[in-house]
Structure 1
Amino acid sequence: MTDKDLSKNQIEKSNSADVFDLVFRGDIAPGHSDAEVKQRVAASFNLDSAAADQLFSGAQVRLKRGVDKPTAERILQRLCDAGAMAKIVPSSVQSETQESLPQDPLSLAPLGTNVLDDNEEMEGEKAASKKPVLPSLDHLSLEPVGTRMVRETEVPPIKVPDLDTSKFSLE
């Protein structure tokens, strides 16, 4: 595999860095199934199922740190053959970007935590305690079964067309 075969997302080149890291996020190449790729990667790197599950958790994992480019490319080739997608990044650039990014910009509240402030909570209680307003039904009436729904006075008269059918015969 040459640099031309690899996509720009897989390799970021840097002339000043001689040492590289191999980063894997659990991405799978199109046309491969998750279980199949996980099994191939585990077999290729002699991993047990727990370690393979941890690799494919979706978190960014550095598989190898501080290796030369040929070694990183060799490991990347083994991953690509198994159907996994990883990338090679310069070690110094990777550490600088990790320091500049906040570790967890967003987080989820634990289950059962009250996420509303006091005003929002009071508004919700007021809305729940109010009884729904039903529309008035006094103007409606019920007719017995079989009654015509439309009165004769409400139906417009039907004009009978004056047709000459003397030209037609059944023969």
Structure 2
Amino acid sequence: MTDKDLSKSQVERSAAADLFDLVFRGEIAPGNSDAEVKQRVAVSFNLDSAAADQLFSGAQVRLKRGVDKPTAERILQRLTDAGAIAMIVPSSVQPETQESLAQDPLSLAPLGTNVLDDNEEVKREKAAIKKPVLPSLDHLSLEPVGTRMVRDTEVPPIKAPDLDTSKFSLE
């Protein structure tokens, strides 16, 4: 690798390190209602109701990828003023590939969010109707620590083998 290649690589890494993503999970600041915050965000960012609903679905959304710090802070301030909670995180996207990436496939849903699909809910409800038959556990009991688990009456007697040891001697 030449000095020219090294400096180009360092510049690319430095440029990527100076980029940030703005992450939003649909959380709102305390003291605000969901509907009001959704409305203010929609007005502030000129969104239709379907886009605003998708934004507040509870899934993690990267609103902006690979932007500089002042841009990320400006967008964060607009969200904060509307009553929404978002985060600025270091970008993991290289500048040349950021347009080709889709939304993150995995995220954490806010507490209390229904994460089941409608079909899964129907299956779960049908399964709840058919209660499984559990075996009776009435014959089981707990014993104190150190108690022998097998009672003497449960162990068959051990018959001592009849061995002739007369031919053996100790010398």
| Greater Rg over alpha carbons, structure | 1
Is the helix fraction higher in 1 or 2?
A: 2
